[in-house]
């Protein structure tokens, strides 16, 4: 009964808005740090643009219809979100494996995918698995988790521009965790018949024709 009341509380618009504002604080801090430090390469600068878009849509998001009560889902969501942010901010300098043109091109591609996905998702964004309005337009016509697609490419581009064994290991761990997060989100959302129909309509999770 207590858990049910807590879940109902999270669906209140003012509560959800407050949570969204608190959740974006680390993104605001990192965006400000990048602005002050100034000494960033192109992929890091592109990530800064992505942070700005995330901040805006998170603050403007709509309240959820229902939120998962599973604490492990919450933990996975927050760990993957803030670990990815922390990695992009504090990873080792590493060595460059590719030309700046290739590295920057991948960074731009990842930014286009993520920003397009965020704009497609609109005000229905959230970190933890929660049912908001089903989005099937824009990037979500092609794959079910396009934001993760862009993040995978972004991490790949980052490692190519700042390679080290530790950076590679962390990037691979983050990619694996994000893949698991996508599966977990679908497990929760497929309880909604409209989302189950969407799963049948859009076959690919991250890359068309691959998976």
Q: 175-191, pLDDT tens digit by residue?
A: 999 999 999 999 999 99
Beta strand residue intervals within 51-210, DSSP E: 66-67, 130-131
Tell me the three state secondary structure of residue 63. coil
Which ranges constitute the DSSP H helices of 13-70? 13-37, 42-59
Q: Which domains does the chain have, with CATH numbers?
A: 2-201 (1.20.120)
Beta strand residue intervals within 63-211, DSSP E: 66-67, 130-131
What does the pLDDT average to over 9-24? 73
Q: According to the model, what pLDDT value does residue 152 have?
A: 92
Residue 115 CA to residue 111 CA, distance in Å, equals 6
Q: Provide the whole-model pTM.
A: 0.84
Q: According to the model, what pLDDT value does residue 194 have?
A: 93
Residue 138 CA to residue 118 CA, distance in Å, equals 10
Reported as a single tens digit per residue, the pLDDT across 81-115 is 888 888 877 888 889 898 888 888 888 898 899 88
Q: Do residues 130 and 190 make contact, with C-beta atoms less than 8 angstroms apart?
A: no
Residue 131 CA to residue 135 CA, distance in Å, equals 11
pLDDT at 39 over 60: no
Residue 115 CA to residue 63 CA, distance in Å, equals 21
Residue (of 62, 85, 185) closest to 133 by Cα position: 62
User: What token pair was written down for 49?
Assistant: 């643009």
What does the pLDDT average to over 62-81? 84
**In this predicted model, which residue has the larger pLDDT, 65 or 8?**
65
């Amino acid at each position: 009964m207590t858990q049910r009341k807590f879940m109902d509380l999270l669906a209140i618009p003012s509560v959800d808005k407050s949570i969204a504002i608190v959740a974006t604080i680390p993104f605001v801090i990192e965006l400000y740090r990048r602005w002050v430090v100034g000494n960033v390469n192109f992929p890091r600068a592109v990530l800064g643009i992505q942070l700005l878009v995330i901040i805006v849509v998170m603050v403007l998001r709509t309240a959820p219809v229902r939120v998962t009560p599973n604490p492990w889902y919450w933990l996975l969501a927050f760990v993957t979100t803030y670990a990815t942010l922390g990695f992009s901010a504090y990873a080792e300098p590493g060595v460059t494996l590719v030309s700046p043109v290739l590295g920057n091109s991948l960074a731009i591609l990842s930014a286009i995918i993520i920003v397009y996905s965020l704009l497609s998702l609109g005000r229905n964004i959230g970190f933890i698995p929660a049912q908001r309005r089903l989005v099937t337009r824009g990037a979500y016509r092609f794959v079910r988790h396009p934001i993760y697609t862009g993040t995978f490419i972004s991490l790949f581009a980052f490692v190519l521009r700042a390679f080290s064994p530790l950076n590679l290991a962390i990037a691979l761990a983050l990619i694996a965790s994000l893949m698991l997060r996508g599966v977990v989100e679908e497990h929760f959302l497929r309880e909604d018949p409209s989302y189950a129909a969407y799963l049948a309509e859009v076959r690919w999770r991250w890359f068309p024709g691959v998976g």
